[in-house]
Amino acid sequence: MRKKAAFHSLGCKVNSYETDAMRQSLLAAGYEEAPFAPGADVYVINTCTVTNVADRKSRQMLHRAKEMNPDAVVVAAGCYVHDSGDRLKKDPAVDIIVGNHEKGKLADILENYFSNLEQSKGISVTDINTVREYDELAFVPVGEHTRAFVKIQDGCNQFCSYCMIPYVRGRVRSRKPEEILREVRELAERGYREVVLTGIHISSYGLDFDYPGTNRQTPDASCAETNEHMTVLIEEVSRIPGIDRIRLGSLEPGIITDEFVRKISSIPEFCPSFHLSMQSGCDATLARMKRKYRSADFAEKVGLIRKYFDRPAITTDIIAGFPGETEDEFAATLEFVKDIRFSRTHIFKYSVRQGTAAAKMPDQVPEKKKQARSAELLAIDKAAREAYARGFLNCPVSVLFEERIVHDGEKCMKGYTREYIPVILYTDEDLSNRILEVIPKNVTAQGELVSSAVCGI
């Protein structure tokens, strides 16, 4: 009888990608997939450690898995493993510990474990800070989807004062372009029309090797010096038949130069949707965060994007209540957010992360104040999101439809514009994986465009 494996992923899109890769590797090895519920023989939890809350959720899911089947093998994989490995070694709920660099070997690790059941715990964790080669996971999504995430790099060299990622993901490691292009070709052959190039710190893509067709780069090159690598990669992906849309994951402002934006704006498949990581609009706060830019630099980069793209979507992240953030500093962030006019803002209350420099900083902001500041930012975001969507009313927009939904009690299709604005179309027809033009007539309170007809139909 085939063993049943269940999977649960926590955290970022990269983790989701890697969970899917582990799933595919186990299915190829003869496992049967099972829901994350009682009855599985193996439970794989791909953990996250970006915040203390993520740590707690990782522990909870590991314990829940063992409670669902005490006889099952529970696998703890991913970032939490690298930060809390000693704790996991003592945790009776965990049978196998797998590091980020070993995820591609999960089938072999399980086979070895089942062959040596007398061992108390299976541990396969490399010191991630010594890893210099990209770990190729050999994965292509399956199923009826329209958009696929393609991992192009791992690791981060930034060492921001609040972040554990460099310690649990290691240094920057870029994926070979031929492997990226192979995966995208397979995706196109399976019917995927949109790809999102993602990673832990994609602005550093190419730091660690010489990309064919670009000038030689040094290992300590800046983001701005690596954008040639990204430009060439986007151009090559755009030439693959069947790929109609290309998006990028989160970017650092340093990669945005006049030449970079000008070049990608000439690629028809590139979608005008940019997520620029900001974290604060106050220079003093940015300095404590050890970010590599200041507010004026960020504003300049936004200006470059708007110079070459018409109504681009510009989204960002903001941390509310960073240690030492005064009322004046927070007010500076509020004004900066209003001035930039983001299409969407992701707001996070600062969470003390033990092991980071920020956790030891004086003047930690009280939770109640962090909550209040987060609420102010959320109110601005809600208004900005709706205002941005309203700018597309009564104009034809190109939509890649993804799924059938029910909205206000009626059958609809949901999809996204090139700017990644959600669109709801009232229709009985299944338009999944089709790109069509619609004219939005309304905007929901969540910033979704609403239409009742497809242009020309």
For residue 131, CA distances in Å to 100, 174, 210, 219 come to: 10, 12, 18, 15
Cα 208-15-293 angle, rounded to 5 deg: 50
As a whole number of angstroms, the distance between CA 331 and CA 445 comes to: 26
- Token look-up 């000693």 returns 86
Q: Which of 44-48, 61-65, 119-123, 427-431 has the lowest mean pLDDT?
A: 119-123
* 119 pLDDT higher than 70: no
Domain with CATH 3.40.50.12160 in the chain: 4-126
Nearest CA to 198 out of 386, 389, 407, 14 is that of: 14
Predicted pLDDT of residue 120: 65
Predicted pLDDT of residue 221: 47
Helical axes 13-28 vs 106-115, angle rounded to 10°: 50
DSSP 168-198: HH-S-EEPPHHHHHHHHHHHHHTT--EEEEE
pLDDT digits (tens, 9 = 90+) for 47-70: 999 988 899 999 999 999 999 999
Predicted pLDDT of residue 117: 67
Average pLDDT, the chain: 92
Please compute the mean of the pLDDT values over residues 389-400 and round it to a whole number.
96
Domain with CATH 3.80.30.20 in the chain: 147-390
pLDDT digits (tens, 9 = 90+) for 8-47: 999 999 999 999 999 999 999 999 999 999 999 999 999 9
Residues in the chain: 457
* 104 pLDDT higher than 70: yes
Q: Which pTM does this prediction carry?
A: 0.92
Please compute the mean of the pLDDT values over residues 335-364 and round it to a whole number.
95
Which CATH number does 4-126 carry?
A: 3.40.50.12160
* 305 pLDDT higher than 60: yes
Structure tokens of 381?
């975001």
Could you give the percent of the chain with pLDDT greater than 70?
A: 94
* Residue 322 burial (CB count, 10 A): 28
The pLDDT confidence band at residue 399, using thresholds 50, 70 and 90, is very high
pLDDT digits (tens, 9 = 90+) for 146-155: 999 999 999 9
Helical axes 367-390 vs 327-340, angle rounded to 10°: 10
Predicted pLDDT of residue 122: 79
Could you give the percent of the chain with pLDDT greater than 90?
A: 83
* 143 pLDDT higher than 80: no
Nearest CA to 23 out of 10, 47, 4, 50 is that of: 4
Which CATH number does 147-390 carry?
A: 3.80.30.20
Please compute the mean of the pLDDT values over residues 271-296 and round it to a whole number.
97
For residue 355, CA distances in Å to 84, 97, 99, 170, 222 come to: 11, 21, 19, 15, 26
Predicted pLDDT of residue 457: 54
The pLDDT confidence band at residue 456, using thresholds 50, 70 and 90, is low
Position 332: which residue type?
A: A
Predicted pLDDT of residue 219: 42
pLDDT digits (tens, 9 = 90+) for 207-261: 887 655 555 444 444 555 557 899 999 999 999 999 999 999 999 999 999 999 9
Please compute the mean of the pLDDT values over residues 338-352 and round it to a whole number.
96
Q: What 8-state DSSP symbol labels residue 58?
A: H
pLDDT digits (tens, 9 = 90+) for 383-393: 999 999 999 99
As a whole number of angstroms, the distance between CA 332 and CA 282 comes to: 6
In sequence order, the 6+-apart residues with CB closer than 8 A to the CB of 29 are: 107, 110, 111
